Amino acid sequence: MYGKVRPISPTTIFPISEVESALKTLHGAKMHGKLIVVPHANDIVKATPPKKPHQFLKENATYILIGGTGGLGRSMSRWMALRSWSAVAMSLTPADIEELITHGLEGMPPVKGVIHGAIVLRDVLFEKMTYSDFTTVIESKAEALAAVEASAGAVKTISYNAPLKSAGTLREAEYVVCEGLMYKLATVMMMESEDLDATRPLSNYPLGSLVAIEIRNFITREFEATLQVLELSSSGSIQTLAKAVCIKSKLVKS
């Protein structure tokens, strides 16, 4: 191989604060060789700030952190406390969670959300996992959440199944699906539906893989449309996703 792998030449170096000029140079096809973007300690990276960054969590509200004594839970509690949000961080049994929600939050602002950070990790290949390991892992996630739901009283649930079935036109169906997606996305991202923009690309929102799976399952359940998780990220905006759902939905009259 000696003599066949050579250093790249010529190279043009841009600091990361000038990444825009670097990309323009690249697109302009006026350069030869390779373009290298290098980060330096004092570089300021230009980024478009989110429209309403402060609205991720509400003021004067309480958030319950299940598994809040764990690694991420502790750092999230600190982050919330620094911004004056009320956080109840806990690592409790389901019975303790019910007790806390039913009686232990007096005098605190209303509960506006639950951050589920409980986990018991049994890091083995599924085929080597014992049944006991499997149930222990699932219980840490499912039981705590079930306890929150059970004690949260009337959980607000909206069904989009019937309105979608009775939609008279494709346009109406798309409207129902779009509303449903906005509501679900807002719920899982702890935002207000009004803060979402149906025309913005979904990639602009913090959709992690677990959230994407939850949205996909919601689509399957509520709209009877089978989509791959990948189709969510590649679908463009919430509006175009609604169109794609309507095409696949068994509830939409053709």
Ligand X SMILES: NC(=O)c1ccc[n+]([C@@H]2O[C@H](COP(=O)([O-])OP(=O)(O)OC[C@H]3O[C@@H](n4cnc5c(N)ncnc54)[C@H](OP(=O)(O)O)[C@@H]3O)[C@@H](O)[C@H]2O)c1
Site for ligand X, rule CB under 6 A: 66-67, 69-73, 91-92, 117-120, 139-140, 143-144
User: CB-wise, 87 or 92, nearer to ligand X?
Assistant: 92
> Least distance (Å) from ligand X to the CB of residue 176?
33
Q: What are phi and psi of 249, to 5 degrees?
A: -70, 135
- Give least dist CB 98 to ligand X, A: 12
Residue 99 vs 195, nearer CB to ligand X: 99
CB of 63 to ligand X, least distance (A): 15
Residue 190, burial from CB neighbour count under 10 angstroms (0-12, 13-18, 19+) = middle
Alpha carbon distance 249, 131 (integer Å):
36
Q: How far is CA 246 from CA 102, 160, 229, in A?
A: 41, 13, 16
**Min dist. Cβ of residue 147 to ligand X (A):** 9
92 vs 245, beta carbon nearer ligand X: 92
Residue 187 to residue 205: CA distance in whole angstroms: 13
77 or 235: CB nearest ligand X:
77
Minimum separation from the CB atom of position 217 to ligand X (A) = 18
Inter-CA distances, 197 with 51, 94, 177, 208, Å: 10, 37, 14, 18
CB-side exposure of 143: number of CA atoms within 13 Å?
16
Min CB(91)–ligand X separation in Å: 3
In the bound complex, which residue of the shown chain has the CB atom lying closest to ligand X? 70
Nearer to ligand X, 135 or 234 (CB): 135
- Give me the least distance between CB of 131 and ligand X, in Å please: 17
* Closer of 155 and 210 to ligand X (Cβ): 210
Q: Choose between 148 and 232: whose C-beta lies nearer to ligand X.
A: 148
